[in-house]
Structure formats: C-alpha cells, structure tokens
Amino acid sequence: MMTKSERIAALGKLGDWLRAGHDEYLDATIKRTAIHNPWFTEPNQQKAIQAIADQLLVAEKLATWLAAYSIPEETDARWIGLVMAGNLPLVGFHDLLCVFAAGHRARIKLSEKDPYLLPALLRAFQQIDPRTAAYFDVTNRLHDFSAIIATGSNNSARYFQAYFGQYPHIIRRNRNAVAVLTGQETAEELHALGRDVFDYFGLGCRNVSKLYLPADYNFDPLLEALHGYREIILHTKYKNNFDYNYALFLLNKVDFQANGCILLREDVSLQSPIAGLYYEYYREAAELVEELLSREEEIQLVVSQLTLPGIKTFGFGEAQQPALDDYADGVDTMTFLATLA
C-alpha cells in the first residue's frame, strides 16, 4: 500500500499529466462519451478535466488540504462504496479523490450516463503509478464495503437510505445554487454570472438556477450579458428544452422574459427547468439571509458580491470551480472518511 506522501505525489503527477494533454486514449474516450451522451460535449468534458487538474490535482494544494485532518502516513484501508451521479462529466471525482487521499479504497458504481471517462483517468493513474490499481474497483454491483457515499436525486436518495442506511454513509440529494444580485453589478460580473448559469447546460447542483433580485431590478443589463452565451442554443437538446418551455409559457399565459437563449420567470422554487432561470424579489438583506438559511438543505452554494452573515458566498463565475475543501452539501467528506480509520 501507499503512504500519504506517496498518494499526494501520485495525485500531483496525475494533475501534471492532465494539464499536459494530448493523450490519444483519453481523446478517443472523450469522443466516445460525447456520442454516448450528447449532453457531455467534448468542450464540456475538457472543461471538467481542466477544472479537476487545476483545482484538485496540485500537490501543494493537496498537502495543505490534508494537513487539516488527522490522517496517518499509513492507513488501515477500508473499502468505500461510491455511487456516482451522471449529471456532469466526472461529477463524482472529488469523492473518489477523498477516498484515495484518506488511504481507503473505492468500489465504484458508475452512472450509465458517464461510464467511460473515469475508467480512462484510472487507467492513466495506474500507468503513472501501478500501485494505485489496488485502490479502485469499478463494478456493476456494490459489495463488501465498510461505508457508502451515494449521490442522486431526492427520489433515488430514498432508495439509497433503504439499501445502505445500516452502513456509515453520506447520501446526497437534489440541491441548486442561487445568486443574489443588487442591481449594481458590472457588465463583466453579469457576464461571469453567465458561466455559473450556462456551464454544462445548467445541469449541475453548483449551477445557478435561481436569482434573488431587489424589488426595482432592471433586467436589461442581465439579459444583454446572458445573451453573450447565445451559441448554447445551437445544441439540439438544449434548444428542444428552450422551445418546449417557451411554448408552454405562451400557452399558459405565464409572464416571463427571454433573450433567445434563456427564459426568466418569477417563481419561489429553486430548481428551474433546463434553459430556464427562476427569480424572486427581496426587500432587505436581513430578510433574505433568513430565507436562505431556512432553505440551506436545498441550496448548494450562493453567488453574490454581498456579504451575507452566516452564509459563504462565491464570486461571479466561480460556482463550477470548487476547491478541495468545497464539499458537496456542506458535509466534510474527509472528516467522515478519517473517522473510519
């Protein structure tokens, strides 16, 4: 087995390899994945890989991150079951990274929507350091594990709880990101917000799907800034969703705003449809903080330039660039794994 220092070094080398690019096998896997799942376009897969390489797989960052936890150089390794989601390319990589960094082994159930990309990275990892092969097992049926980390919808989470509830577990449900605007944002900030909305077609739990706006908000600068992402409408599946919801709003005489690539509608819900963005007005920041805290089980993160007491906020354009310690659902995965040892 590998020591903590050896695992950190291997992860850093994987990051170097990904940043170097131009691997024929990985390139072929990216093309195969795009054919298998049209939502996973080649640029989106490459964007996910780049974010992993730059934010997660840097040896210095890894060492600093792990220093906050009581992880010995040599660990009593346990098998950890991982049920991967499939809404974004490599969306479960952070969980896999945590398991390996903690010195445990991952028994992985891949999503049918993303069955090729992670095995390609594990193949490369094994070529970088053959000892890593002992830490990962991709399987169609989870078995012989000590703990479970499962991610899915609210509906699937109920099944996960029934199947895995007797084991130590982290079970994740639907969440969405929100943005709080003041009306004083610059054109550059609003354009950066577009990345939080449109990256990966808005399919991620870290994508902004709801805006909180001051009562007298002027939509024109926002609609103009978001129109800068109009090429997204050229994607067939996205356009089908846009056209469907546009027709539905017209037939039902729903008040909405549109700019050719996204539909804005006032709604109290946090989860907007694909090609849609909900908004809600607020009067005072104190009331808004109370509202956000009351819905913290539904909110993955908050994007804003405001300081909101008790709420961690992200800058515009940063929602899909999570750091090592940006844990999904606010549950510290490393603390969970460290206690198993």
Q: pTM for the whole thing?
A: 0.95
Predicted local confidence at residue 43, as pLDDT:
97
Give residue for tokens 């909180």: 212
Angle (CA) 156 162 163, round 5°? 90
Residue 189: is its pLDDT beyond 80? Answer: yes
110-134: average pLDDT: 98
50-58: average pLDDT: 97
List b or e across 21-52, with b for residues whose CB sees 16 or more CB atoms inside 10 angstroms: eebeebeebbeebbeebebbbeebbebbbebb
Give residue for tokens 């590998």: 2
Task: For residue 171, list its beta bridge partners.
Answer: 150
Per-residue pLDDT of 90-100, as tens digits, reads 999 999 999 99
Report the chain's mean pLDDT, rounded to a whole number. 96
Residue from 99, 10, 100 nearest 59 by CA: 10
Distances (CA, A) of 165 to 84, 120, 144, 224, 267: 17, 31, 15, 48, 34
Phi-psi region of 190 (alpha: psi -120 to 50; beta: other; left: phi over 0): alpha
Q: What is the bridge-based pairing of β-strands 276-282 and 299-304? A: unpaired
CATH for the 4-173 domain, from 1.20.1250.20, 3.40.30.10, 3.40.50.150, 3.40.605.10: 3.40.605.10
What confidence tier does 341 reach under pLDDT thresholds 50, 70, 90? low
Domain spans of the chain? 4-173, 176-314
Residue 167: is its pLDDT beyond 70? Answer: yes
129-150: average pLDDT: 97
What confidence tier does 52 reach under pLDDT thresholds 50, 70, 90? very high
The percentage of the chain sitting over the pLDDT mark of 90, rounded to a whole number, equals 96
Count of Cβ atoms closer than 10 Å to residue 168 Cβ: 16
What confidence tier does 19 reach under pLDDT thresholds 50, 70, 90? very high
Per-residue pLDDT of 205-218, as tens digits, reads 999 999 999 999 99
What confidence tier does 21 reach under pLDDT thresholds 50, 70, 90? confident
187-210: average pLDDT: 98
**Tokens (6 digits) for 287:** 């009331």
**Cβ(176)–Cβ(154) under 8 Å?**
no
Q: What is the DSSP string of 107-133?
A: EEE--TTS-SHHHHHHHHHHHH-GGGG
CATH for the 176-314 domain, from 3.60.150.10, 3.90.420.10, 3.40.50.920, 3.40.309.10: 3.40.309.10
